Structure 1
C-alpha cells in the first residue's frame, strides 16, 4: 500500500482522542456485568443440559451430534474468555481473570494467560509483518516473502494453502490445547501458572474420563475427533474474516493508532444472530479501536465510528461473511502462487 492509501503518523493522534471522547461521551465504554452474567449463565446452563443428554444417551453413535453441540458451546465460552482478557466484563483485572480462567482453562482447556499474551501482541501490531503472531502461523504463508522461503513439502502446501485452509482449521483446537500445555509446563510467562496448570489438569481428566466412561472406545475416539475438529473450525472461521486479506504492514508503514487498527481490520455485516454466532468479532474495527468496549456496545458504536472514518477520509471495510472468507482465501491463493516450485531453488 502507498503512503496515500495508509497515511502517516504525523499529528493525527488528536483524531483518535476526538473519537475517544465521542465514544466515551455516549457511554459505550461502560461495563455491563449483568448482561455478561446472563450470557455466562445461559452458556453454562446449555452445557449442563448437554452433559445430561450425553449421560442419558449413553454409548451411541448419535453422540456425534452431542459432540457438535458441545463444540459450539466451547467456542461460545472461548468468546467470553476473549472478552474477559480485554477486561470488557469488569473493571477489576482480578475479576476478569477469574472468568477467563474458568471459561478458558477449566471448561475449554485453553490457557487463558498464554492466549491473552499472544492476543495482546496481535492487537498492538495487527497484520504487521514481524510483530503480529497471527500472521506467523506455520505452515501457512501470509506474505510473498514468507512463501518465497518455503521449500519441499512446505512449499507444496503453501501453493495449495487456500484449498487446505478450512481443513487445516479443524486442527486448530488440537493446536490450542498443545500450546496451552507447553505454556503451563514452561518456567515463566504466566501470572497464574499454578492455577492454570491445575485447571487444565481438571479439564483434561474430566473430559477424557467422561468420554471414555460413557462411550465405547471407538465411539469415544470419534466423539473427541468430531468435537475438537468442529471446535477449531468454528473458532478459526470466526477469527479468519477479521484480518485475512486486509493490508499487511511493514516497519516502513508509520501509521497512527487509528489508521493502523481500521485499515487492517474488516467488519462483517449481519444481524443479532450473526453477532451471537461470531461473539461480536464481526465488529472487528470497533473492537480493535476500543478493545475494552463491552461486546453488547459494539453494534451501537459502529455507526458513530463508521461516520467518523468517512468524515476523516479513512477507508472503513465491511462485507458479508461469505465475501470475507472469499477475500481471505483469494489472498492466500495469491501468496501461495509465489511459493518455490521444484527445480526453481
Structure 2
C-alpha cells in the first residue's frame, strides 16, 4: 500500500498557498517569519519586534556641594516595568543614600566618589550603570546679573540668577545702574514668587520672596532697563542680602559706596579710654580772696526749727562769737542786827538764810 504524503492535497497551486499559511503560523513563535510569493515560489525573511534595551537616565550626575541638600532621581527607559534598583559596587559620599531609585541627602565631605547602580525589569533583565559624583566645597551665595557684552543702547532685558541658594527664602538686591538709565519693568522668573521694586535716582532696589528654594544658578528675575544713550552696566556695582525662612542672614554684601565711612588709614580705630581733663592749678591768692568774701561754713550754722530745741534757738539778730554780758544780779545784803525785842526781817531777794531765834529763852 503506497503511503500518502503528509501534506497531500497541497501540491497544487491552491495547496501551495495553504501550506505557506500553515508554515507561517508554525514559525510565528520562533521570532522569524518566512513568506513567499505564491506565483514565483521565492521566499523572504522578516524579524519580529522586541522590547527596547534598558537605558539609564540621567547619564551623569550633577555636582553636589558640602552642606547643601542634594536629590537626584535615577531611572531607566526601555525594558518592561516595574523596575527595581540597587547599589552594587562602590560607595556613596558621606551623608547621601540611595533608595527607591532616588539619590538624596546632604554631603558632608568633599571628594570624587564612584559607584554602580543595577536596574532589573519585570522580565528579570538587568542593566548596570557606573556613576561618578563630585562633591565640592560650597561656593558663596550670590545674586548675579547676566550682562550683554559691551554697551547697551536700547531697551534691554537683564536676567538675574542666584548661585548656591542653600535655604534662601527671601533676597534683596541694590544696584547702582549709573546715570541716565531708567528701569521700565522688573518681573519674577517664577510666577509664584513675590517681587517688589523701586528706583531712586540711579539705584534700583528689588525685594524677592520664594515659595520654595530656587535651584542652583536658576533665573529668579528679569530686569528691563532703557538707557538715555549708550551705557555699560557694571555687575560689581550691586549689593545683596539673603535670608532663610527663619529670618537668619545667609549673606550680606554691601553695595560699593553704601558702607559707612571709615576712619583715616582704612582701619577702624579702637576705643581709647577717656582721660580726666587736667584742671588748672588753683591760685593761692584767689583762694585767699575767695575765703575772705565767702562766709566761713564752720562759723555759720543753719538751724532747722523742727529739730532744734526752742531753748537753744539763737535770735536772728545775734551773731555768735561775741558772748553777751551776763545780766546784773542783785547783790545779796547782810541783814542788819535788830534789837532783841523785834522779830527778824528776811529780805525777799535773799537766799535761804538761817533765822536767829529770839533771845531770852533761858533767863529767869
TM-score, length-scaled by structure 1: 0.17
- Bigger helix fraction: 1
Q: Which protein has greater RCO, CA pairs closer than 8 Å, 6+ apart?
A: 1
Larger Cα Rg: Structure 1 or Structure 2? 2
